[in-house]
Amino acid sequence: MGIAAVKIKILPTSPEIDLEKLKETIKNLVEGMGGKNCTLEQEPIAFGLEAIIALFAWPEEKELEELEEAIRAIEEVSSIQVLDMRRAFG
């Protein structure tokens, strides 16, 4: 099977959340469930709230829904949205 390039937007529950700690938790979760090359960026939303954009390689044979549910289960996460998922070449 191939590798998928995945881009997920994660919204924290409030602007007071420690984003560095949350990013570390997300990165460990993604890589622990089989993702590779996880990079995390911050994107301003409004009123001091910033989203975390996770970009990573994901094995196509694994269901992404398991990872989505695991991220949603993090206490500091309000919601997530898969922005893009496509087959990666190379």
Which structure tokens are listed for 30? 């993604």
Q: Is the pTM of this model over 0.85?
A: yes
| Residue 88 in domain | no
| Residue 75 in domain | yes
Q: What whole-number distance in Å separates Cα of residue 31 and Cα of residue 27?
A: 6
Domain range enclosing 27 = 3-83
Q: Give the CATH number for residue 8.
A: 3.30.70.60
| Residue 63 in domain | yes
Q: Which pLDDT does position 82 carry in this prediction?
A: 96
What's the pLDDT tens digit per position in 14-70?
A: 999 999 999 999 999 999 999 999 999 999 998 889 999 999 999 999 999 999 999
| Residue 74 in domain | yes
What residues form DSSP beta bridges with 41? 53
| Residue 45 in domain | yes
Could you tell me which of 44, 54, 48, 47 has the C-alpha nearest to residue 23?
Answer: 54
| Residue 90 in domain | no
- Structural domain count of the chain: 1
- Burial state string for 59-76 with b = 16 or more CB within 10 A and e = fewer than 16: eeeeebeebeeebeebeb
